[in-house]
Amino acid sequence: MVTIRLTNSKTRRKEDFRPIDSSNVRMYVCGPTVYDRAHLGNARPVVVFDVLNRLLRHVYGEGHVTYVRNFTDVDDKINAEALRRQKAGVPGTLEELIHGRTEETIAWYHADMDALGALRPDHEPRATEYIGQMVAMTQGLIASGHAYAVEGHVLFRVRSYKDYGKLSGRSVDDMIAGARVEVAPYKEDPMDFVLWKPSSGEEPGWDSPWGKGRPGWHIECSAMSHELLGESFDIHGGGLDLQFPHHENEIAQSACAHPHGDFAHYWLHNEMLQVEGKKMSKSLGNFFTVRDLLDQGIPGEVIRFVFLMTHYRSPMDWTAEKARQAEATLRKWRAATAEVAASAPLVSVIEALADDLNTAGALAALHVAAGEGDWAGLKASAVLLGLLEPAMGSWSSAPDVDLSAQTQRLIDLRAAAMASKDFSAVDALKAALVTAGVEVRMSKAGIELVPGPDFDPAKLEALQ
């Protein structure tokens, strides 16, 4: 069996991956807060952990992996949007409007991530369906002295967990010095974080031993991963921005609530995403969602390919140039493999992926296979990477393009050249068309221009 090696944030080393139970490899990844469309940065962990999910299924068997990714549907931003709609006159109770908002956002999320070729996880728990487990876990933490209730809040006593800060490599005292921690008067210690908080009048809430309220964000993941994967499981993933405080808090809660388990053995974090070398932000005007790109006509498969070009532990830069390159490559590969039956994935691709998910190396191996004409191996390997799948649509089939103007121009130039015996203008236009990926078929009967797999509309436009 292939040995997968993964960089474990917990030990800061690349380690051999040894699952607790190879007949049921278990992975939890922090999912989205469902209050709006997913932006491009939100999609990166989805694609990264989708590749890992596919690799684990390839190595351990389709039925031997359990992949859980949650939906956080308890959130102030969701409530605010529902309240805004109610004030704008949308009918329904606040609860119904909250429910409507999350249903809508989850449907968008599914559509957008499906378009990127991400397989749906085995379980997609919603926080609101696990409130009972969160309350029970919170009660247990109070009973064991790791948490305390005060003024309708329950807070985790950070100093009661000696390993707090190990994952992100910080000491509690450094964190207090460095972070702007909200110091509420009811906290015993500034670092203590919320497990449960009270809901005021119009906010959604659930009955609890501490009054009507709602869970804190961190306890959601601890409760759902425990319910679906147990006290100890294999992999916990998420974006690097979640390492502190979210993952640190998840570890503290789970370790103290289940002292006989060891929570997640391997912690994986993907680096962040930039756009054309800059941090994506609304103020810079370079903020966009996955749907924005899809609506611009960039196929989901192209977005996925661009993501795979960068290793998950390196910052990734989204550029229009990369998207153009990815599209040209995919057009070529799709055309070449259309009639080819896939064989087995290439050893070189499996080895690259098994080496800490080296997706850039896997793509390089596909380029080698293309150079050697091993289309059957390329196709099987691409499918393992979530590329060239029929479900991603037939976007690359003969582009729908009107070449009549160029055809007429070539006919006129040829007629003139016949008379002048100077064919330089004809040759120049032919060369330019070929560069744009257009096949030029000239005969006595006429001229036909056919867009090929390398067809590049931008280059054609430059001709005009």
- Under the rule (CB under 5 A), what is the footprint of Zn ion? 30, 221
> Between residues 221 and 264, which has the closer beta carbon with respect to Zn ion?
221
A 10 A CB-CB count for 295 gives 10
Query: How far is residue 8 from each of residues 192, 224, 432, measured CA to CA in Å?
Result: 26, 22, 50
Q: How far is the CB of 258 from Zn ion (least distance, A)?
A: 16
Q: How far is Cα 298 from Cα 307, in angstroms, rounded to an integer? A: 13
> Between residues 30 and 366, which has the closer beta carbon with respect to Zn ion?
30
Classified as helix, coil or strand, 443 is: strand
Q: How far is the CB of 105 from Zn ion (least distance, A)?
A: 18
Q: Closest Cα partner for 368 from 378, 376, 357, 358? A: 378
Classified as helix, coil or strand, 72 is: strand
Q: How far is the CB of 221 from Zn ion (least distance, A)?
A: 3
Q: How far is the CB of 131 from Zn ion (least distance, A)?
A: 16
Q: How far is Cα 344 from Cα 407, in angstroms, rounded to an integer? A: 43
The first and second tokens of residue 10, run together, are: 């917990």
> Between residues 225 and 329, which has the closer beta carbon with respect to Zn ion?
225
Parallel, antiparallel, or unpaired: how do β-strands 65-69 and 25-29 relate?
parallel
User: Phi and psi of 85, rounded to 5°?
Assistant: -65, -40
Residue with tokens 């351990």: 60
> Between residues 222 and 406, which has the closer beta carbon with respect to Zn ion?
222
Amino acid, res. 350: I
> Between residues 17 and 217, which has the closer beta carbon with respect to Zn ion?
217
Q: How far is the CB of 254 from Zn ion (least distance, A)?
A: 11
Which alpha helices (DSSP H) does 144-283 contain, by range?
172-178, 217-229, 248-257
> Between residues 253 and 396, which has the closer beta carbon with respect to Zn ion?
253
Q: How far is the CB of 42 from Zn ion (least distance, A)?
A: 14
> Between residues 246 and 313, which has the closer beta carbon with respect to Zn ion?
246
The first and second tokens of residue 392, run together, are: 């991603």
Tell me which H or E stretch contains 8.
strand 5-8
- The torsion region of residue 32 among left (phi > 0), alpha (psi -120 to 50) and beta comes to beta
Q: How far is the CB of 263 from Zn ion (least distance, A)?
A: 12
A 10 A CB-CB count for 418 gives 10
Q: Closest Cα partner for 254 from 161, 167, 165? A: 161
Q: How far is the CB of 107 from Zn ion (least distance, A)?
A: 22
Q: How far is the CB of 232 from Zn ion (least distance, A)?
A: 17
> Between residues 125 and 437, which has the closer beta carbon with respect to Zn ion?
125
> Between residues 76 and 448, which has the closer beta carbon with respect to Zn ion?
76
Provide Rg for the chain, Cα atoms.
27
For residue 270, list its beta bridge partners.
Answer: 239
The first and second tokens of residue 450, run together, are: 């056919």
Q: How far is the CB of 70 from Zn ion (least distance, A)?
A: 7
> Between residues 265 and 322, which has the closer beta carbon with respect to Zn ion?
265
Are 164 and 252 within 8 A, CB to CB? yes
Q: How far is Cα 327 from Cα 302, in angstroms, rounded to an integer? A: 6
